[in-house]
Amino acid sequence: MNILILGPGAVGSLWATKFQLAGHHVSLWGRTSESELSLQLDDAPLTTYSNQSISSLQEADLILITVKAWQVESAIEPLLPHINADTIVMLMHNGMGTAEWLESKLSDNPIVIATTTHGAYKPTKQHVLHTGHGYTQVGGFNAKGAKCEFLQDVMNHALPSVNWNPNIHSALWTKLAINCAINPLTAIHQCKNGDLAAEQYSSLLEAITHELVEVMNKEAIVTDFDTLHRTIMQVVNATAANYSSMRQDVFHKRRTEIDFITGYLLQAAKKHQINTPENAKLYQCLKQIEQSWTEQ
């Protein structure tokens, strides 16, 4: 397939190199205007990809968007006139709320959403490390996207394991809930994910989870407190030694994904008239942290 990766950060570069090694024709669309970019996955050979090539964009069978949620609009807007109506457009980022906008702009295209637990890290511009083996769930966002089940095999061949999930909405909500619980707290306290297993966070994590369950149930997501709490604590333990992406963003004073994680939850809570004071406090705290950088 002709695959274009929009946003070759750590996760985008991981998929770019894996698709290339699986035999696909891969091109990149990064922020720099260089016509070529090179990437090396772990110890594999360095490979060169075309960058910002309009013809590659026009000929793409699949555009995989791996920019952060808050960058989706500005990254895709200038490319819209060049995207073929047959091109499958796939979103892969933390948080929710961008697919609706994408569909309003590309209503004729198949739109697919993916969520992944693979860990990747780019110590340099060219080098990408696959730091944690995870899995990926993919599903259709619109009617045309729902017919793209074949992508499971394509992606599984490149970077297993991949599951086609006809109920991707539910998977995205579960990932959102995990991120609502782990990311703001680790960012505020500048701690590792595993530190949240300490006694000092247990009642707060429980309160956050109760709020999440109430909103998710109203959104028709089947879950309960014990199930969601267990899932969150499993991720806390499985990624104990990691810093969350939001902790890293705050550490480096980069804009966080809070609007598309806790912000999305708060919007849904408001729609259903549910009180979510603990999540609201975390949201306010993150916004204050971000605000403090612009005041410096």
Could you say which of 125, 144, 175, 287 is catalytic?
175
Q: Which of 52, 183, 209, 276 binds ligand KPL (CB under 6 A)?
A: 183
Q: Which one of 60, 88, 178, 265 is in contact with ligand KPL (CB under 6 A)?
A: 178
Of 8-16, 41-49, 85-93, 235-243, which segment contacts ligand KPL by CB under 6 A? 235-243
Question: Over the range 174-183, which residues count as b (16 or more CB within 10 Å of their CB) and which as e?
Answer: bbbbbbbbbb
Of the candidate residues 179, 209, 256, 276, the single one contacting ligand KPL (CB under 6 A)? 179
Cβ 247 to ligand KPL, closest distance in Å?
7
Name the minimum Å distance from CB 182 to ligand KPL: 4
Q: Is 287 a catalytic residue?
A: no
Per rule CB under 6 A, is residue 244 in the interface with ligand KPL?
yes
Q: Counting contacts by CB under 6 A, is residue 174 touching ligand KPL?
A: no
Q: Which of 13, 245, 256, 276 binds ligand KPL (CB under 6 A)?
A: 245
Residue positions annotated with a catalytic role = 175
Binding-site ranges for ligand KPL (CB under 6 A): 94, 178-179, 182-183, 193, 235, 239, 242, 244-245
